[in-house]
Amino acid sequence: MPDWRRATGRKLTAMRRVRSRRSGGRNDIDEAGASGTMALILIENFRAVFYTPFYAAFALNAYEAEGLEVQRVMGATAAETAQALRSGRGDVAWGGPIRLLLDNNQRADSDLVIFCEVVRRDPFFLVGREPRPAWQLEDLPHVRLATVNEVPTPWLCLQHDLRLAGLDPAQVRRIPDRSMPENLDALRAGDIDVMQAFQPFVERAVEEGVGHIWYAAASRGLTAYTSLYTTRQCIIRDPEGLLRLTRAMYRTQQWIATHSADELAACVASFFPDLPRPTLTAAIQRYMTLRLWNRTPMLRPEGLAWLDAACRSGGYTQQSVPYDRCVDMRFAAQVIRETPPTFGDDPGHATL
């Protein structure tokens, strides 16, 4: 379970330490370029290679460079994360926009809002036992497919791919109730023909010679996949903190765009202590080649619209959610206009 009490205590300590003095009726912390640390609690979704930019921001000391003390707390369910944000036990979370689409379908007064996009394409793959260089979606109903059971988004997106290709997802011989580690074992044993997975399971299958990439979902184009989100109350309460957070992520995105997979893997390796460096590097390289990560914090409407349509076609939501109802790009637009300086080539060391 998340250690909310410890994280909240640290935040309060930091806030007391840096509480600004009043000077002539003006709060020093609000001045442009003012020094002083601000504290935020950031709720992590789960540990995954496709979340690399989030870890890179810590490893590069991007938040410290912006005068932010960010406490990272591991979240649980999407509902519990939303409750933590609304209660003030957390300030910001990262996760899929699907969470906000569902929340808006369940609550007419949903106050969750995306303010910074990081993962702009689908990080999942279809990995088959046999090489199929000419494979097409039309071939999927003829094989045994093991899909992801950890989260709903991968199958919702894949079934929408099928519908757009004129196929019926119900015709797929799908095994939906096993985890990605279990599906990799099944692929090794020959119990399935193809598995749906993200990195590093894809790279492991390829390295072992038991798997061949049939389809990279990122190749379909923009699909809003992971963003930083908060509540509208937090935007009102702490706009300066969210602006600094967005700027830190933008500077991280720019660093990633100008560095190699080897350098990025070295930057975030401490977040994946059980993953061999060559595997991590290969996984990151594959994602970079697919242009998985956004180079700016700006979420484009067409990426969210595609995900919204997939959620509705898969029966996960019923009503379309307008872009402006769950997205506020004010901070993203501001930091892009500012063109902040990039980081040097001497990244800091993250504390796990």
Whether the CB-CB separation of 241 and 324 falls below 8 Å is answered with no
Distances (CA, A) of 240 to 100, 237, 274, 302: 23, 9, 37, 28
Q: Are 192 and 144 in contact (CB under 8 A)?
A: yes
Residue with tokens 């995900």: 307
Please report, for the chain, how many H helices and E strands are present, in that order. Answer: 15, 12
Tens-place pLDDT, residues 260-314: 999 999 999 999 999 999 999 999 999 999 999 999 999 999 999 999 999 999 9
Amino acid at 235: I
pLDDT 10s digits, 302-338? 999 999 999 999 999 999 999 999 999 999 999 999 9
Amino acid of residue 138:
E
User: What pLDDT score does 21 carry?
Assistant: 29
- Its pTM stands at 0.89
What is the tens place of the pLDDT at every residue in 12-32?
444 433 333 223 332 333 333
- Joined tokens for residue 268: 């975030």
Contact in structure between 283 and 245 (CB atoms under 8 Å): no
Structural domains present in the chain: 4-121+223-338 (3.40.190.10), 125-220 (3.40.190.10)
* Pair of tokens at residue 47: 């540990």
